[in-house]
Amino acid sequence: MKKFLLPIILLLTPSLLFAAGASTQLEGGFKMGPAIILITILCVFVLVGIVFRAKDTTDFYAAGRSISRVGSGMAIASNWMSAASFLGMAALMYGTGYHGLAYVVGWTGGYVLLLILMAGQIRKYGKYTAADFIGDRYYSQGLRAVGAIIAILISISYCVGQFGGIGIMFKWILGIDYALAVIIGGSVVLVYTLISGMLGVTKNMQIQYVIIIVSFLIPLFILTFKFDYFWLLPQIGYGSVVSDIVSGVPIAETTQMFNSFGHEYAMVPAPEYAMPWDSATGQTFFQWIAIAFSLMIGTAGLPHVIQRFYVVPKARDARWSVVWGLFFISILYWSAPVYAAFGKILSANPEVGKLAKDAIVVYTAQLGGVNPLIVGLLAAGGVSAAFSTVSGLLVAGSSAFAHDLYVKIINPKASPKMQLLMARLGTVLMAVIVTLLALKNWALIAQLVAVAFSLAGVTIFPLFLLGIWWSGSNKQGAIAGLIAGLLVAVIALTYFIAGKEGVTLPYYEFVNYWLGAWYFAWIGAPLAILTNIVVSKLTPETPLEIRKFLVLNVHS
């Protein structure tokens, strides 16, 4: 009876009838101003890509090692500030409140580990890719191949969320269907990455960083000023917005403020927005800790992040580029929660209806009555954020395909021209796979991206950590550790995908909770490390030349 009545009740409840109404108005049709801004920005990217395009394989893989530490920091930030940061983080906080901050902390705190434990040493090791390091350090072509395949899988997983973000923004700007938007956006980013290589990408990343951060910050000043908060530093000024959400905002009798639909700037008290692991959000303390931890170690194991340390001239530059990179990243991460907080109050009226969380940054600016051209710039910034990351990921993935699989294993005598061709073929293949997966629309952007972090956390991170800091870690230990980590990943992802496809596996609730797709590294990484140590202790010692290389080159 309940099952029968519920749809009727839902249909007859007026507030729920607005689920499409107002939000459809926010979506609108084709938007000329934002479209022109987006096309202009994309043209600039392509032009810069052509001017600084890769001339040979060294350029393609590692930008000729000619990038300064501030420039590299900007590139790290731009590479990092993806659709997940630009759109996804605010979406998570809008949807789950304080729980979303686990992503903010996870995606920044990991840089401390990366710097202290890896950055300088990775540069000193002097390889091109993560698989290069794994193959050399663990003296195994097989591990090199597995490392390359994992790097490709991580890049694909990471790109899926980005393509989703590109699709959502193209959909908003062009007023077209999501699927078509993903295909158009994906094609544009593919063409751009093919035209340039990492040199062009790195130069572009510096430009992209400026566009991303400027487009993200301008609406915040406008929103805080307009709604009478401390606007000189919105990243602090929004504290009062959060407190207002907690205590509620009464309808003002004198100086009334409205959203763009004319609704009063008012809402009932909602402490669940700011209080930790609130039952209303359905998220728990364990999940908060597991997500933060998984994202942190995932950060230190992402191939495309690690690869950025190869493009700086010296180990010292690699270290300082992390500091700059993290500072530049933090500017965006201090700002993203502002959108979520304003979004909450501005969409509090039931007439606004249910909004697509991943587009909440743009919706908030619209609801706040920000000038449409500035909202257009914001949307273009979102596309730019996704582009900068996708191009880096496609390069990292295609590098793994061409350099680590094709040249090092399949055809060691390949000419530089052939290598470049294979890199480009790898890029196209990855883009096609990513587009198909993005069309599935399985989860929020940030959650899809977090899957890549957990995957990196259970595979690459343990291999790098032990490979750098313990000469006792040997090939057998690495293989065993990798199997342990991958086993956890396979279980978690099988349950996740099965659940999304409507298949209920045994113990679904239990596995899905304790091995969530975006935080399975909380157990997978320690297990991989422990297995690596135990097996290494029980098997023959690492060869002398490897230990010698570690002592003389990496730790000297």
Partner 1 sequence: MDTNQNDYHISFFKPTTAMAKWNRNLAIKLILVWAVAVFGFHFLLRAIEKPTPEDAYVKYEKVWENISTENASVEEMQTFAHTSLSVLGKVFIKPNEKATLCNAVSWVTYQLADSLEKNLLVDKTRELEKIISEIAAISEPAYINAKKSLSQVTSSILGLQQSDPRRLILSLSLTSTEMDSFKDVNKEMIPAIMSTYLIHNQSFLTDFVFLGFPFHYFYTAVFLLVLFVFLCWLYCYRVDQKYAELGIEE
Restricting to residues 203-232, which ones interact with partner 1 according to CB under 8 A?
230
Q: Which of 55, 440, 500, 547 binds partner 1 (CB under 8 A)?
A: 547
> What tokens were used for 443?
């989860």
Name the residue nearer to partner 1 (CB basis): 65 or 319.
319
Residue 276 binding partner 1, by CB under 8 A:
yes
CB of 10 to partner 1, least distance (A): 6
Spatial neighbors of 45 by CB under 8 A, at least 6 apart, are 192, 204, 207, 208, 384, 387
136 interacts with partner 1 by CB under 8 A: no
The distance of closest approach from Cβ of residue 1 to partner 1 in the complex, given in angstroms and rounded to an integer, is 8
**How many Cβ atoms sit within 10 Å of the Cβ of residue 512?**
16
The reply on whether position 315 binds partner 1 by CB under 8 A is: yes
Cα separation, 552 vs 546, in Å, equals: 10
Report yes or no: 397 and 199 within 8 Å, Cβ to Cβ: no
Q: Which residue lies nearer to partner 1 by CB, 145 or 329?
A: 329
CA–CA separation, 196 and 177 (whole Å): 29
The distance of closest approach from Cβ of residue 474 to partner 1 in the complex, given in angstroms and rounded to an integer, is 13
Q: What is the nearest approach in angstroms of partner 1 to the Cβ of residue 73?
A: 11
Among 185, 186, 197, 237, binds partner 1 (CB under 8 A): 237
Residue closer to partner 1 by CB (options 237, 392) is 237
Torsion of CA 331, 334, 339, 342, to 10 degrees: -140
Site for partner 1 in 328-357 (CB under 8 A): 330, 333-334, 337, 344, 348-351
Of 274, 409, 428, 439, which lies in the binding site for partner 1, with binding defined by CB under 8 A?
A: 274
Contact string (CB under 8 A) for partner 1, positions 465-504, x = contact: ----xxxx--------------------------------
**Choice from 12, 412, 413, 502 touching partner 1 (CB under 8 A):** 12
Count of CB atoms situated within 10 Å of the CB of 222: 18
Q: Minimum Å distance from CB 235 to partner 1?
A: 7
The residue (of 349 and 399) whose beta carbon lies closer to partner 1 is 349
Instruction: Please identify which residue in 251, 255, 413, 506 interacts with partner 1, judged by CB under 8 A.
Output: 251
- In order of 140, 306, 343, 421, the CA distances from 131 in angstroms are 10, 11, 42, 20
Residue list 29-88, contact with partner 1 (CB under 8 A): none
Q: Which one of residues 79, 82, 162, 235 is an interface residue with partner 1 (CB under 8 A)? A: 235
Residue 118 or 407: the one with the smaller Cβ distance to partner 1 is: 118
Number of neighbours of residue 272 by Cβ within 10 angstroms:
15
Q: Is 555 in the site for partner 1 (CB under 8 A)?
A: yes
**Exactly one of 33, 64, 109, 526 binds partner 1 (CB under 8 A); which one?**
109
Concatenated DSSP letters of 220-271: HHHHHHHTTS--SSHHHHTHHHHHHHHH-BPPPSSS--B-TT--BS-B---G
122 — phi, psi (to 5°)?
A: -65, -45
Q: Which tokens in the block code for residue 37? A: 């801004």
Distance of alpha carbon 452 from alpha carbon 496, whole angstroms: 13
What does the DSSP assignment read for 500-520?
Answer: HTT---TTHHHHHHHT-TTTT
Tokens of 76: 């790290």
Among 277, 495, 520, 522, binds partner 1 (CB under 8 A): 277
Q: Which is nearer to partner 1, 285 or 508 (CB)?
A: 285
Q: Which of 66, 250, 417, 508 binds partner 1 (CB under 8 A)?
A: 250
Q: How far is the CB of 425 from partner 1 (least distance, A)?
A: 37
519, 520, 521, 527 alpha-carbon torsion, rounded to 10°: 160
Stretch that binds partner 1, among 21-29, 141-149, 206-214, 412-420 (CB under 8 A): 21-29
The residue among 274, 97, 356 whose CA lies nearest residue 366 is 356
- Report the nearest approach of partner 1 to the CB of residue 424 (Å): 35
Is position 550 an interface residue for partner 1 (rule: CB under 8 A)?
A: yes
CA 301 to chain centre: 13
The one segment of 17-25, 146-154, 160-168, 532-540 that binds partner 1 by CB under 8 A: 17-25
Residue 273 engages partner 1 in binding (rule: CB under 8 A): yes
Number of residues that bind partner 1 (CB under 8 A): 107
Tell me the window of 103-111, 161-169, 397-405, 450-458 that interacts with partner 1 (CB under 8 A).
103-111
- Interface residue with partner 1, options 243, 411, 504, 553 (CB under 8 A): 243
Of the listed pieces 36-44, 107-115, 413-421, 452-460, which binds partner 1 according to CB under 8 A?
107-115
State yes or no: residue 426 binds partner 1 (CB under 8 A). Answer: no
Task: Name residues contacting partner 1, limited to 155-214 (CB under 8 A).
Answer: none
- The dihedral of CA 147, 151, 156, 158: what is its sign? positive
293 contributes a contact to partner 1 by CB under 8 A: yes
Q: In b/e form, how buried is each residue of 48-78, taking b as 16+ CB within 10 angstroms?
A: bbeebbbeebbbbbbbbeebbbbbbbbbbbb
Q: Cα 512 from chain centroid? A: 22
Task: Report the distance separating Cα 424 and Cα 421, nearest Å.
Answer: 5
